[in-house]
Amino acid sequence: MGTETDFSYLSYIPTYIFKQLIDKWNKTSIELKPNGLLSKENRETTIKHIQKLSTPRLKQLKKVSETLNFSDIWWQVYQISKIKPVSELQKKKKTFKIEKYFQEEGEIKAKGLFSVRELNEYVSFIAVEFSSRSTVYKRLFRFFYLPSVKTILLEPKDFAEEVLKSEILPFITKDPDKFEKKTIRARSIRVLTKKTDEAKTAFNLTHLNIRISLETSGIEGLSQIIIQGDDVIRGAETLEQRHEVSLGFMNSGPWVGAGTKDFALEVGKGLQIHQLENESLKSLVSVLGII
């Protein structure tokens, strides 16, 4: 009995990136629905093309999936000013010396390579790879650049903020000293549920976390209430109306976490991105535009 191939890594690759790669490699044009490579509609086509790929291509594809695997990352949001267009950033690959980041670890001969991938008209993905030939060393720093909302997202890890300040900001803004970390606050989560000038429609939240403080509850034992569903705000409102009751828990504390199928926000943590399909990226831009 043969073991079944694990295709789960494909879920991190957006359909349009997969399509671009397959079209290029196989010199053909494949049709995929923009809702995930392993979705019911796409799974058969995806696997059919995967099985035709050579081992080096498969390795390349796995590397793309590793680079785009964001499932556990809480991105930090930075507001920047005087941005440069993405086209300007893509003109050349930038390499820089990274020894300064490792002064305490002795001499490491390594280089940093900066690359930009335009995911769609609103979002670019910036990767900075540190690598060394003399020692086995590889490190990847990932950023999302959203010029339309003057925002850059940073993956929190050692040196990432330094890389942002010293290498990325001078590259993407005309005023690299002017940037500000944006804190996710309960107020931002409330705004997501409202129709505003910036957000023409309110987001359908699939989960909402309500913080219960000791000052409000009186005793320890309950710290958070989490509600889940396709549209929790509408769901809670409708439940209240139909049963003519007040769901007091909706207002028993600040809303400290919320999410949709595309993203999640949490006070004190940041922003999580679930997928990079086009519609999800549009949704991400709207969120960042209003928080």
Name the residues that contact another protein, by CB under 8 A. Answer: 183-187, 190, 211, 213-219, 251-256, 267-268
Minimum CB separation of residue 288 from another protein in Å reads 18
Is the CB of 2 or the CB of 221 nearer to another protein?
221
Is the CB of 106 or the CB of 248 nearer to another protein?
248
Minimum CB separation of residue 269 from another protein in Å reads 11
Is the CB of 190 or the CB of 261 nearer to another protein?
190
Minimum CB separation of residue 251 from another protein in Å reads 4
Burial 244-266 (b: 16+ CB within 10 A, else e): eeeeeebeebbbbbbbbebbbbb
Minimum CB separation of residue 72 from another protein in Å reads 22
Residue 260, CA distances (Å) to 173, 193, 264, 274 in order: 31, 11, 6, 9
Minimum CB separation of residue 71 from another protein in Å reads 25
Is the CB of 185 or the CB of 234 nearer to another protein?
185
Residue with tokens 């040196």: 159
For CA atoms 271, 43, 68, 2, the dihedral sign is positive
Radius of gyration of the chain (CA): 22
Minimum CB separation of residue 253 from another protein in Å reads 6
Is the CB of 161 or the CB of 266 nearer to another protein?
266
> Which two structure tokens, joined as six digits, stand for 149?
């909302």
Is the CB of 13 or the CB of 256 nearer to another protein?
256
Of 229, 189, 190, give the one whose Cα is nearest residue 206: 229
Residue 233, CB-side half-sphere exposure with 13 Å CA sphere: 15
DSSP 5-49: P--GGGGGS-HHHHHHHHHHHHTS-----SS-TTSTTTHHHHHHH
Is the CB of 116 or the CB of 288 nearer to another protein?
288
Alpha-carbon distance of 108 to 112, in angstroms, equals 12
Using DSSP, state whether 121 is helix, strand or coil: coil
Of 39, 19, 20, 43, give the one whose Cα is nearest residue 31: 19
Minimum CB separation of residue 202 from another protein in Å reads 15
